[in-house]
Structure 1
Amino acid sequence: MFFNINILSLMLGFFFANILSTIPAQTGDWNIISGSVIVTFNEIVNKCVYSKNNIRNSILIKLVNNIKIGIVYGLFVDAFKLGS
């Protein structure tokens, strides 16, 4: 059961990456702000996941970490699509 939820959260992050890379870039004014929001979210999740506390075993933290990994993966795929 948890394997399916983990895969689903990865795909949700990939979907969010497509949203984050297309919608704010329509005007061209929001590129820096959306990039800073993504980096801030990434660092906050990294702090929660990789801290020395024992909250790493929480299912919610694992799901948010999988969404973060999906966002980063989706942004890399979009960058490769734009580069080719």
Structure 2
Amino acid sequence: MQNTRLNNLLDAIATRLGQWFLNPWRRLSLLIISFLFGFFLANVISTTAGQQGVLDIMVAAFLVVLTEVTSRIFYSQSFFAKRSLLVESLNLFKVGFTYGLFLEAFKLGS
């Protein structure tokens, strides 16, 4: 790509943001926010898909495929390799999402 002002600005922003998330507390807080957002999204999807009742099977199939693709991305790397922040936050989003769906299923079953 050409070395334009916009490219330089975007590169500088990405570099500073990457350095900002090197702090362990900021990284941990972003991962916790990702987990909680997955939990929230599971509650939202279960209530909206349950209200319509028409596309339940298609929504469930899409969510299973999305979860499996996320697992494939996270677990394809070596166990001891350092994972990027995006991959870790995506995995914790998936864990929160799965936990939220299980909790909704337990609430509906009781």
Fold match by TM threshold 0.5: yes
Name structure 2 gaps, 5 residues minimum: 1-25
Give the whole-Å Cα distance in 1 for the aligned partners of 2:56 and 2:83: 34
User: Which residues of 2 match residues 64-79 of structure 1 at below 5 A?
Assistant: 64-79=90-105
**Which of the two has higher C-alpha Rg?**
2
Paired residue type of 1:75: L
Task: Give the TM-score taking structure 2 as reference length.
Answer: 0.70
Residue equivalent to 2:107: 81
Q: Aligned pairs, how many?
A: 84
If asked which structure has higher relative contact order (CA below 8 Å, sep 6+), I would say 1
Q: How many Å separate the matches in 2 of 1:74 and 1:56?
A: 27
2:38 counterpart of 1:13 = yes
CA contact (8 A) 1:21 1:75 kept: yes
CA deviations over 1:20-54 (Å, ceiling 9, x no partner):
10112212111101100110001100110011469
State the identity as a percent: 37
